[in-house]
């Protein structure tokens, strides 16, 4: 059994059931960064904040995705929770996903939940999954455009440093807004929005920093 990308997983929902190109685990899969020279200073600020993942300790990302199929008049809701502990271990669990299994990575070993049984992951899958979830920082910073620094913006009745991107994945363009606490310089939330013909996809990612998060190998 192979570990799949949750972004790809949520695209595989057959008609007339709802599908999406968005998920979290990621540390959510759809955040990006522009390389436009005009935004070089803004880009540097974002990179500094995003790279703080290596110093953040243990934390959790909860991503809720809502997909509306306007033609079929149906809605699909999914959730992905990804935890990282201070030792570099990772645990991802999902609700209402189709092909993305829950998994745990501790050290160089990993396991996939296969119908209630924990099955060892191949070493290559462990390395690829860890890299996908951690190497780009809190937000996946690859293949994006139209990067904007919006300064201090209101979100959930508080004020946060705010950045906006357009993530280009295959033929899809997803708008992402990322919020960082101006004092701790850590991420608070991210929002995404995408329309692809009959489908409207929105997601909300929330970050929670908790030093008590500890991940162990499944039994």
What confidence category does residue 37 fall into, taking pLDDT thresholds of 50, 70 and 90?
Answer: very low
Q: How many domains does the chain have?
A: 1
Confirm whether 217 is domain-assigned.
no
DSSP at 201: E
Q: Determine the average pLDDT of the residues in 153-167.
A: 91
User: According to the model, what pLDDT value does residue 125 have?
Assistant: 92
Region for residue 168 given its phi and psi (left: phi exceeds 0; alpha: psi -120 to 50; beta: otherwise): beta
Q: What is the dihedral of CA 22, 25, 26, 29, to 10 degrees?
A: -30
Report yes or no: 100 and 23 within 8 Å, Cβ to Cβ: yes
Q: Is the pLDDT of residue 1 over 50?
A: no
User: According to the model, what pLDDT value does residue 176 have?
Assistant: 84
Report yes or no: 57 and 184 within 8 Å, Cβ to Cβ: no
Lowest mean pLDDT segment, chosen from 18-27, 88-97, 147-156:
18-27
Q: Determine the average pLDDT of the residues in 101-130.
A: 92
DSSP at 23: -
User: According to the model, what pLDDT value does residue 28 have?
Assistant: 36
Please give the residue that has the higher pLDDT: either 104 or 43: 104
User: According to the model, what pLDDT value does residue 98 have?
Assistant: 62
DSSP secondary structure string for all residues of 93-140:
EEES-SS---EEEETTEEEEEETTEEEEPPHHHHHHHHHHHHTT-SS-
Confirm whether 219 is domain-assigned.
no
Positive or negative, the CA dihedral 33, 127, 213, 112 is positive
CATH of the domain at 25: 2.50.20
Q: Determine the average pLDDT of the residues in 117-121.
A: 95
Confirm whether 1 is domain-assigned.
no
Confirm whether 164 is domain-assigned.
yes
Confirm whether 143 is domain-assigned.
yes
Q: How many helices (H) and strands (E) does the chain have?
A: 3, 11
Confirm whether 58 is domain-assigned.
yes
Q: Is the pLDDT of residue 75 over 50?
A: yes
Other residues' Cβ atoms within 10 Å of the Cβ of residue 203:
26
Positive or negative, the CA dihedral 99, 105, 110, 114 is negative
Q: Is the pLDDT of residue 24 over 70?
A: no
User: According to the model, what pLDDT value does residue 39 have?
Assistant: 57
What is the domain range of residue 194? 6-209
Kindly report the pTM of this predicted structure: 0.78
Confirm whether 214 is domain-assigned.
no
Confirm whether 51 is domain-assigned.
yes
Calpha distance 92→105 (Å, rounded) = 9
């Amino acid at each position: 059994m192979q570990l799949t990308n949750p972004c790809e997983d949520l695209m595989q929902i057959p008609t007339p059931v709802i599908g999406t190109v968005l998920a979290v685990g990621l540390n959510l899969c759809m955040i990006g960064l522009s390389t436009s020279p005009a935004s070089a200073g803004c880009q540097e600020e974002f990179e500094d904040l995003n790279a703080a993942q290596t110093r953040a300790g243990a934390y959790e990302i909860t991503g809720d995705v809502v997909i509306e199929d306007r033609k079929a008049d149906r809605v699909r809701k999914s959730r992905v929770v990804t935890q990282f502990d201070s030792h570099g271990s990772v645990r991802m669990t999902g609700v209402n996903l189709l092909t993305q299994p829950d998994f745990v990575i501790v050290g160089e070993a990993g396991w996939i939940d296969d119908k209630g049984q924990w099955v060892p992951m191949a070493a290559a899958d462990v390395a690829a999954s860890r890299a996908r979830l951690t190497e780009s920082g809190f937000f996946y910073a690859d293949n994006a455009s139209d990067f904007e620094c919006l300064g201090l913006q209101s979100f959930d009745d508080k004020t946060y440093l705010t950045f906006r991107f357009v993530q280009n994945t295959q033929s899809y363009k997803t708008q992402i807004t990322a919020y960082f606490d101006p004092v701790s310089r850590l991420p608070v939330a991210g929002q995404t929005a995408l329309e692809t013909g009959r489908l409207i996809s929105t997601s909300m990612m929330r970050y929670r920093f908790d030093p008590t998060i500890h991940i162990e190998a499944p039994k």
